[in-house]
């Protein structure tokens, strides 16, 4: 059986591990080890050596991200670490499991990240709708404070860290790193220009690290068991395990922790149990709403950062959304584009204007009012959503499903226009 460090102790009913249960399976050992004798630099090094890449979607190497933080006596304080627990990427439901089932694992990972950059304050930025995870994290934070894992002079190491749960007002943009910082400061979650990067000038202008929940949940295990162990969990040079998921009309939708680079076919056929009776596979978004469609010919692609990119998409969050032959690909694209248009913060013109236009074209097409030239308009508009035209990745993310749908399902789009109706609607 392959190891499942992140989820093996989460019971089937997802009852959260309390502090005692967490410690009985090795919890806070990594934290004790780090505070008992490691330097923050050594902490950063082990995470660099492990090859851990961010699990929130972008896949940036975590240790490298940390290493840009100013360190030492001259560094500005307070420094901040933030857990991005704003899981709002449509089709993504992995961080919910980690927080509901093992809240201490996240707290320990965030505290370790704090130690690695000599942070003073930590926030868990969680979406408002995750009420159960909020409850469990609140309880776990109280336990961690009481046991002396948080607060002043932790475990008599001289290191102090305050940690606080911050519940979001709710908006997709809050998951964007710099949007999240603005939200924490009590502002609209518009993105910020980079540089300066948050590691140098983040929350209230101070050095700040933002990491995804799954990323942080890996840290305690890497510190306790080492970089080589972590690399050995994977089928490829992209290290570690990955929480994969599938939703849509598969037999068993769900989340599975598996070696990084498990193939799409294995996920779909073995873990998700294949397609439901009566429907056939047509395509999928491999890692949430903002990734390019992949189709039949890509099924043997290993789900890791490099392989999925080579196949023409992105690993994203690793949670797949499956399109079947009874579901209209134009309708699905219309739904996705409407989401991005609604969630655009309005900061950059190609995003707020172009997405709104594309949304209207697609909705009209679904209603039977498609026009000659619509597909060219969609291609033209979506060109301006590419990186470099906007402050953040929302518009580039919106372009991915639309452009790939136009490529793989072009005949379906053309049929909508030709027949002046959606063939999937009665």
Q: Which stretch binds another protein (CB under 8 A): 192-200, 212-220, 304-312, 332-340?
A: 332-340
Neighbours of 312 (CB within 10 A): 17
List the interface residues with another protein, window 229-248 (CB under 8 A): 245-248
Q: Which is nearer to another protein, 64 or 132 (CB)?
A: 132
Q: Work out which of 22, 31, 66, 93 binds another protein, going by CB under 8 A.
A: 93
Burial of residue 358 (CB within 10 Å: 0-12, 13-18, 19+) is buried
Q: Which of 27, 40, 56, 87 binds another protein (CB under 8 A)?
A: 87
Please enumerate in sequence order all residues whose Cβ is within 8 A of that of 228, keeping only pairs 6 or more positions apart, or say none: none
Query: Residue 77 or residue 265: which is nearer to another protein going by CB?
Result: 77
C-alpha dist (Å) from residue 132 to 15, 95, 103, 127, 161: 10, 12, 11, 11, 25
The answer to whether 335 contacts another protein (rule: CB under 8 A) is: yes
Alpha helices per DSSP H over 71-212: 94-101, 103-116, 131-146, 177-184
Interface with another protein (CB under 8 A), residue from 331, 350, 354, 397? 331
Contact stretch for another protein (CB under 8 A) within 49-57, 159-167, 210-218, 293-301: 159-167
Q: What's the burial of 379, exposed, middle or buried (CB within 10 Å: 0-12/13-18/19+)?
A: middle
* DSSP notation for 259-272: ETT-BHHIIIIIIS
CB-wise, 215 or 234, nearer to another protein?
215
Q: Which of 107, 255, 267, 375 binds another protein (CB under 8 A)?
A: 255
SS3 state of residue 211: strand
276 neighbors 250 (Cβ within 8 angstroms)? yes
With binding defined as CB under 8 A, does residue 167 bind another protein?
Answer: yes
The answer to the question of residue 295 lying near another protein (CB under 8 A) is no
In angstroms, what is the minimal distance from the CB of 249 to another protein?
7
| Distance of closest approach, residue 245 Cβ to another protein, in angstroms | 7
345 binds another protein (CB under 8 A): yes
Question: Does position 215 bind another protein by CB under 8 A?
Answer: no
In whole angstroms, give the CA distance from residue 268 to residue 281: 10
- Tell me if 403 contacts another protein by CB under 8 A: no
Given the complex with another protein, which of 307 and 404 has the nearer CB atom?
404
With CB under 8 A as the contact rule, which of the stretches 67-75, 89-97, 370-378, 408-416 interacts with another protein? 89-97
184 contacts another protein (rule: CB under 8 A):
yes
Contacts (Cβ under 8 Å, ≥6 apart) of 315: 59, 242, 286, 287, 291, 303, 304, 305, 308, 309
Give the span between the Cα atoms of 294 and 314, in whole angstroms.
Answer: 10
Residue 115 half-sphere exposure toward CB, CA atoms < 13 A = 35
- 124 forms beta bridges with 83, 165
Please report, as ranges, the residues that interact with another protein according to CB under 8 A. 87-93, 95-96, 127-132, 162, 164, 167-172, 183-189, 204, 245-249, 253-255, 285, 289, 319, 321-324, 327, 331-332, 335-336, 339, 342-343, 345
């Amino acid at each position: 059986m392959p190891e499942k460090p992140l989820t093996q102790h989460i019971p089937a009913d997802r009852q959260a591990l309390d502090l005692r249960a967490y410690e009985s399976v090795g919890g806070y050992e990594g934290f004790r080890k780090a505070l008992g004798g490691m330097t923050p630099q050594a902490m950063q090094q082990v995470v660099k050596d492990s090859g851990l890449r961010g699990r929130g979607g972008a896949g940036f190497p975590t240790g490298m991200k940390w290493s840009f933080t100013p360190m030492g006596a001259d560094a500005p304080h307070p420094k901040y670490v933030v857990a991005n627990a704003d899981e709002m990427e449509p089709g993504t439901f992995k961080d919910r499991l980690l927080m509901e089932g093992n809240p201490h694992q996240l707290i320990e990972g965030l505290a370790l990240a704090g130690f690695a950059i000599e942070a003073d304050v930590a926030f868990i930025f969680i979406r408002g709708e995750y009420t159960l995870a909020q409850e469990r994290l609140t309880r776990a934070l109280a336990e961690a404070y009481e046991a002396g894992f948080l607060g002043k002079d932790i475990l008599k190491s001289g290191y102090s860290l305050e940690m606080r749960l911050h519940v979001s007002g709710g908006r997709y943009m809050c998951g964007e790193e710099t949007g999240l910082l603005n939200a924490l400061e009590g502002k609209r979650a518009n993105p910020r220009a980079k540089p300066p990067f948050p590691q140098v000038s983040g929350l209230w202008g101070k050095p700040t690290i933002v990491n995804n929940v799954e990323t942080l949940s890996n840290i305690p295990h890497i510190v306790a068991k080492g970089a080589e162990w972590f690399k050995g969990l994977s089928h490829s040079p992209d290290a570690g395990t990955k929480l994969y998921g599938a939703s849509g009309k598969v037999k068993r939708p769900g989340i599975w922790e598996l070696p990084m680079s498990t193939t799409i076919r294995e996920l779909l056929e073995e873990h998700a149990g294949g397609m439901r009776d009566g429907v056939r596979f047509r395509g999928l978004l491999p890692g949430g709403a903002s990734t390019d469609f992949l189709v039949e010919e890509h099924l043997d692609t290993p789900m890791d950062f490099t392989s999925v990119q080579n196949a023409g998409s992105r690993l994203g969050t690793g949670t797949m959304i499956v399109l079947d032959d009874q579901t209209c690909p134009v309708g699905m694209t219309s739904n996705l584009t409407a989401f991005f248009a609604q969630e655009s913060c309005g900061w950059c013109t190609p995003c707020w204007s172009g997405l709104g236009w594309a949304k209207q074209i697609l909705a009209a097409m679904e209603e039977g009012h498609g026009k000659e030239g619509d597909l060219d308009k969609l291609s033209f508009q979506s060109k301006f959503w590419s990186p470099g035209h906007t402050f953040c990745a929302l518009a580039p993310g919106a372009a991915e499903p639309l452009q790939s749908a136009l490529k793989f399902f072009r005949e379906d789009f053309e049929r909508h226009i030709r027949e002046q109706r959606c063939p999937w609607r009665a």
